[in-house]
Structure 1
Amino acid sequence: MTFTAAALGGLMAWRADSFHWDLWLATVLGLMFAHATNNLLNDYTDSRRGIDKDNYYRNQYGVHVLEDGLMSEGQFWRYVGVTAGIALALGSWLIYQRSGLTMDLMLAGAFFVLFYTWPLKYYGMGEPAVLLVWGPLMVGGSYYVLAGSWSWNVTWLSLVFALGPTTVLFGKHTDKLEADRSKGVNTLPVLLGERLSRLFVLAMISAQYLLCIALVLAGSFGWPLLVVLISLPVLPVLLAVFGKPKPSSPPGNYPEGVWPLWFSAHAFRHTRRFTSLFLLGVIVDTVLV
């Protein structure tokens, strides 16, 4: 996700004849190491607060280096020092090269790296944070570092991309709503309840298509962006899934190893297909400009 966000910002800079390989490589590497740092801090915070103890959901989609005993705490903090140090060094070099809003963008990124897990995720702000980070901050910020100016067209385009990972996260938090509630983690789905959360995911998926259509009608991007409409036939399936509560057990034909993820699995399947078509449309439109 992080690489794709930086690549999308780079593509927009290329489109504006403002692409610089050295700045882009520093940006994409800096963002990826910052994301790695956030993932580590996320695991540390939830582990120390007891959220990930015997957590079937967490171990279902990735390795937990602390809970699985793959690192000592000393090794863990040395690992964090390396990833955070590289991200900080690359960010500092970009500030030196570009100045302007680059410092503000880096400070905003550092805020989300440090405080996403707590307190943002614990108080219903994690999902909006993901939308902002993988949209305007990463895509728009990458464009700014390369082009030296802010673009609202790129910002709106970034939201189309960012809504994808946000729907997956929203689905995941809806899947484990009761588990989070029992441990005092008040994600947005916990605050909204399952029914409203399911409707929110459908609204965000709809917004992706509507934003693409609006960007084309406004003349900001060309007709190739409408290639995303090829995904429309899958919407009835999504409506059927998100239109009712999560089943108590997986259907007979459900892929092995995915359960208990349900809403997030369906959101991910749509995001993977939609984002592939979206990026294809943006690339073709850029070539034709």
Structure 2
Amino acid sequence: MTLMSAALGGLLAGFDGHFNFAVWCLCALGLVMAHATNNLLNDYTDSRRGIDKDNYYRNQYGVHVLEDELLTPRQFWGYVAVTAMLALVPGLYLVWQSGGVTLSLLLAGAFFVLFYTWPLKYFGLGEPAVLLVWGPLMVGGTYYVLAGEWSWPVTWLSLLYALGPTSVLFGKHIDKLELDAAKRVHTLPVILGEVSARYWVCAMLMLQYLGTVALVLLGVWHWGLLLVLLNLADFKKLLQVFSEPKPAEAPAELPAGVWPLWFSAFAFSHTRRFTGLFLVGLLLQGVF
């Protein structure tokens, strides 16, 4: 999803005649490595605070290099240093080359990398942070670095796209709502409650479709974006899933290795399809 944000920003800049492949590669590398650094710091923080101990939800769906003792602390911090440098060096180079708002974008990205896990995630601010990061910061920021100017049409479009990654995070936090509440991790689903959180996801994804249609009807973007409507059948399935509580155990039709992910798995599947159609629609705009 991070790479898709970079691709979206580059594509939009290319439409306006500002694409530079080398600069875009630096943007994409910096964003992906910043995300990698955040993931590592997320595991470290939750491990140190006792959130990921005792076979907590996080250990059930993926490898945790600290809890599973696959890396020593020294090796772990070496890994963090490498990913952080691969994020920071391209970022500083782009600041030097582009100037302007680029430094502010870099500092904002560093803030979210360092403080997403704590305190943002612990106080219901993780989900809004993802909306801002995967939208205006990544997509709008990539566009700015390439084009040298901020674009509000790109910003609105980026927010529609970012509703997808935000729904995935929302779904994951609903999946582990009871565990988070017991460990006093007050994600937004914990604050809203399980039922309200499920309907929030439905509303966000419905807004993706309505917002896309609105931008086309207002003439802000090309009709090719209406390709996302081909995903309405998948959206209907997602609505059915989110209209009911999570099953007590994995349904037989669920692919092996997915459980205990449930809501997040369906949200990710929907987002992947929506994003693919979204990008194809934008490519059609470039062609026509």
Whether these two folds match at TM > 0.5 is yes
Provide the residue aligned with 1:246 in structure 2.
Answer: 246
Q: CA deviation at 1:132?
A: 0.5
C-alpha distance in structure 2 between counterparts of 1:284 and 1:217, whole Å = 17
For structure 2, the 5+ residue unaligned runs are none
Say whether the 8 Å CA contact 1:57–1:261 is kept in structure 2: no
Q: CA deviation at 1:56?
A: 4.7
Q: CA deviation at 1:22?
A: 2.2
C-alpha distance in structure 1 between counterparts of 2:83 and 2:262, whole Å = 32
Deviations 1:59-118 (A, max 9, x none): 344321111111100111111111112211111110110000000000000000000000
Correspondence 1:225 to 2:228 = no
C-alpha distance in structure 1 between counterparts of 2:239 and 2:96, whole Å = 49
Counting only pairs closer than 5 Å after superposition, residues 104-143 of structure 1 correspond to structure 2 as 104-143=104-143
The 3-state SS of whatever aligns with 1:11 is helix
Over the matched positions of the two proteins, sequence identity in percent amounts to: 65
Say whether the 8 Å CA contact 2:2–2:31 is kept in structure 1: yes
Equivalent pairs, count: 288
Provide the residue aligned with 1:72 in structure 2.
Answer: 72
Provide the residue aligned with 2:87 in structure 1.
Answer: 87
Moved more, 59-68 or 1-10: 59-68
C-alpha distance in structure 1 between counterparts of 2:231 and 2:68, whole Å = 39
Provide the residue aligned with 2:258 in structure 1.
Answer: 258
C-alpha distance in structure 2 between counterparts of 1:4 and 1:235, whole Å = 20
C-alpha distance in structure 2 between counterparts of 1:101 and 1:61, whole Å = 39
C-alpha distance in structure 2 between counterparts of 1:145 and 1:175, whole Å = 37
Provide the residue aligned with 1:27 in structure 2.
Answer: 27
With the length of structure 1 as denominator, give the TM-score of the two structures: 0.97
Provide the residue aligned with 1:38 in structure 2.
Answer: 38
Q: CA RMSD in A?
A: 1.2
| Paired residue type of 1:115 | F
Moved more, 177-186 or 242-251: 242-251
Provide the residue aligned with 2:198 in structure 1.
Answer: 198
Q: CA deviation at 1:197?
A: 0.1
C-alpha distance in structure 2 between counterparts of 1:26 and 1:225, whole Å = 27
Deviations 1:13-63 (A, max 9, x none): 100001112211111111111111111100100011111113353134432
Say whether the 8 Å CA contact 1:60–1:258 is kept in structure 2: no
| Paired residue type of 1:171 | G
C-alpha distance in structure 1 between counterparts of 2:114 and 2:216, whole Å = 37
Provide the residue aligned with 1:63 in structure 2.
Answer: 63
Q: CA deviation at 1:271?
A: 1.0
Q: CA deviation at 1:236?
A: 2.9
C-alpha distance in structure 2 between counterparts of 1:135 and 1:254, whole Å = 31
Provide the residue aligned with 1:210 in structure 2.
Answer: 210
For structure 1, the 5+ residue unaligned runs are none
The 3-state SS of whatever aligns with 1:206 is helix
C-alpha distance in structure 1 between counterparts of 2:105 and 2:55, whole Å = 34
C-alpha distance in structure 2 between counterparts of 1:86 and 1:208, whole Å = 33
The 3-state SS of whatever aligns with 1:122 is coil
| Paired residue type of 2:201 | V
C-alpha distance in structure 2 between counterparts of 1:268 and 1:244, whole Å = 18
C-alpha distance in structure 2 between counterparts of 1:120 and 1:274, whole Å = 28
| Paired residue type of 1:21 | F
